[in-house]
Structure 1
Amino acid sequence: MVVFAGQGDARRSLSLLWRGEVTAPPRVGPGPRPRLSVDAIVAAAVAIADEEGMAALSMRAVGERLGRTAMALYTHVPGKSELLDLMYDAVHAELPSAYPESESDDWRAPLTAWAGEVLEFYVRHPWVLQVSQARPVLGPHEYANLDTLVRLLGATGLPARTVRRLVGTLFPLVQGSARTVADARRAAGATGSSDEEWWAARAAALTELVPDFAERFPAVVGLEREGAPEPNPEDGEGKDLPYPEREARETFRVGLGVLLDGVEAARAGQGPTTDTGRP
């Protein structure tokens, strides 16, 4: 399910988004009924989306979590569309705005750290991945994260147009990897079968139904044979993770590395440095 941000009243949404500096939304749990405010409403909405997914989000559900009626919320937030904008921007406050800079002018380490932080952010809040990037929220924390990335990419010394294209490349890479990790974590619970059970059943059926599979798809079969990862690493990062998540994280690591290798090549004058592809 894709959700488009910015569907509420433009002026009202933006005035709420820029109403002042706020920190990441506090957790809403048992205890005295919180004073109703924009921040309390956003925190409750984020908690629902984190725990139950975007489909469970409604003004009524938020009101129930706060011990109030849905109507009581409208004094503070005009509707669900404006609430989504506020939620999206509020959780972005979790992301760091600064990364350690290397004394050796190493632009690569901060970019790698940024990508890793954003990956984990999306995994914590998978519902954020359902918010379409076609229309940004235009909130302060969303802009702060973007500004951080632009600053880190600017340290590469590449032209502004190239940096612009790299921004549009890095975000989808991180988002796609995070989506795979989040899906891998939910798959067993959502389908009622483990990854091992799912693959075993379909591998057996495919072998029976398509006996010439290897002849029809030799490149895929060859890649699986020659490029297969170790099934059960005994040590190293991710050794305790389920196979699909471990694979997704390794794919992210390698893909990011290849992308940054390309940045290095462009810096050295060995690759395209503008959006036209001309050096």
Structure 2
Amino acid sequence: MATESSGSGDPARTIALLWGTLQLPRRGPKHALTTDQIIAAAVEIADGDKDLAPLSMRRVAESLGVGTMSLYTYVASRAELVEAMLDSAYGEAVAELEKIDADDWRDGLRQIAAIEWAMYLRHPWMLQVFTGRPPLGPNAIAKYDLELRVVDGIGLTDVEMDSAITLVHTHVEGVARRKVEAARVERQTGTTDQQWWQAIAPALAEVHDPASFPLADRVGLAAGQAHQAAHNPEHEYAFGLECLIEGIAALVRRAAG
């Protein structure tokens, strides 16, 4: 579940920070850091924690060996820092998106999804930020532009192109969140999903009559045996992606039709 929201900092200053046009004070001590160093340190901390909640300006400052107040010369608030962290992570995705060389838009969407999936697993803290008000940094916009190129000219309207890319994002983000949350629960409990099922099975067997829910029992058993768990994020990711690609293909055929 998202616990923070982008777009909560000062809009003008945030844009200046993201686009590198923020003017640092000329008076006072010489600037010992760069904004990129601060952002990189913050990302490293959040990656290590696999959590955004413990991140603070103080921790970032300590990791850089400077006083906390000195960071505010570069980044005015934690909210701005989070937006800059997001755009930095998007930059990694941009580097991969630029390598996409797909003759077929379907393969292109699969590559977009794979890049997004890897990004979230590399930086699980990103899933804690609601981006309904997206960070409009250079990498975020470049990422969007590169993704749109995959579906440009296939027969969709501009609005449909946007919706197709959003659909891929929403699917990948949702499944990645389930995977990350499952890993978090396992770390907190010290118990795997398979161990949990084994522990709860005897108690469930005493109260559950398979004949009362034959369809749930049959399908649930088949899925459980296939995945060795109640859910398999990798299967959900691949299966859902193919379903939505087929749906977009049907829309393209109808438009051509």
Q: Is the 8 A contact 1:181 1:244 kept in 2?
A: no
Cα distance, 1:131 vs structure 2: 0.7
Match of 1:48 among 7, 29, 45: 45
| C-alpha displacement of 1:167 | 2.4
Provide the C-alpha distance between the structure 2 equivalents of 1:5 and 1:230, rounded to a whole number of angstroms.
39
- Aligned runs of 1:158-237 on 2, under 5 Å? 158-208=156-206, 210-212=207-209, 214-228=210-224, 230=226
2:251 to 266, 271, 274: 266
Letter in 1 for 2:208: P
Structure 1 residues 99, 37: closer, same or farther in 2, change over 3 A?
closer
Change (3 A) 1:244 1:78: farther
**In 1, Cα distance between equivalents of 2:155 and 2:62:** 52
Give the Cα–Cα distance (whole angstroms) in 2 for the partners of residues 100 and 40 of structure 1: 29
The answer to whether the 8 Å contact 1:5/1:81 transfers is yes
Matches of 1:97 and 1:196, distance apart in 2: 36
Tell me which protein shows more helix as a share of its residues.
Answer: 2
TM-score, length-normalised on structure 1?
Answer: 0.79
On the 8 A contact 1:180/1:248 being kept in 2, the answer is: yes
Number of equivalenced pairs: 243
Distance 1:228 1:51 in 2: 32
**SS state at 1:56 partner:** coil
Q: Deviations over 1:89-121 (max 9, x none)?
A: 11110012324434xx41111111111111010
TM-score by length of 2: 0.86
Change (3 A) 1:164 1:248: same
CA contact (8 A) 2:108 2:150 kept: yes
Give CA deviations for 1:146-173 in whole Å, capped at 9, x if unaligned.
1122221224322222222222311110
1-structure distance, mates of 2:212, 2:98: 50
Q: Which of 249-258 and 195-204 deviates more? A: 195-204
Report the equivalent of 1:97. Answer: 97
Partners of 2:147 and 2:211 in 1: CA distance: 45
| Matched residue, 1:19 | 20
Q: Secondary structure at the match of 2:53?
A: helix
What is the CA-CA distance between 1:260 and the residue it aligns to? 0.8
- Distance in 1, matches of 2:129 and 2:52, equals 10
Q: Distance in 1 between matches of 2:153 and 2:182?
A: 35
Q: Which residue of 2 aligns with 1:254?
A: 239
Q: Is the 8 A contact 1:184 1:244 kept in 2?
A: no
* Amino acid aligned to 1:98: E
Q: Assess if the C-alpha contact under 8 Å between 1:99 and 1:110 holds in 2.
A: no
Provide the C-alpha distance between the structure 2 equivalents of 1:229 and 1:255, rounded to a whole number of angstroms: 20
CA distance in 1, matches of 2:14, 2:212: 54
Question: Aligned partners of 1:43 and 1:226: how far apart in 2?
Answer: 45
Pairwise CA distance, 1:244: 7.4
CA contact (8 A) 1:7 1:81 kept: yes
Task: Identify the residue that residue 63 of structure 2 maps to in structure 1.
Answer: 65
Identify the residue that residue 126 of structure 1 maps to in structure 2.
124
Residues 226 and 267 of structure 1: is their aligned pair in 2 closer, same or farther, counting only changes over 3 Å?
Answer: same
Give the conservation status (yes or no) of the 8 Å contact 2:97–2:112.
Answer: no
- State, as a whole percentage, how many aligned pairs show the same letter: 35
Superposed displacement of residue 215, structure 1: 4.2
Shift of 1:228: 5.0
- The 1:227/1:194 distance shift into structure 2, 3 A limit, reads closer
Instruction: Indicate if the aligned counterparts of 2:9 and 2:77 stay in contact, CA closer than 8 A.
Output: yes
**Runs of 4+ that moved beyond 4 A:** 226-229
Q: Deviations over 1:227-276 (max 9, x none)?
A: 555357xxxxxxxxxx678x21121111111111112222222xxx6xxx
Deviation at 1:195, TM superposition (A): 2.0
Unpaired stretches in structure 2, ≥5 consecutive residues: 22-30
Q: Give the aligned residue type for 2:41.
A: A
Q: Is the 8 A contact 1:120 1:178 kept in 2?
A: no
**2:85 maps to which of 84, 87, 110:** 87
CA distance in structure 1 between the partners assigned to 2:14 and 2:63 by the alignment:
23
1:153 aligned residue:
151
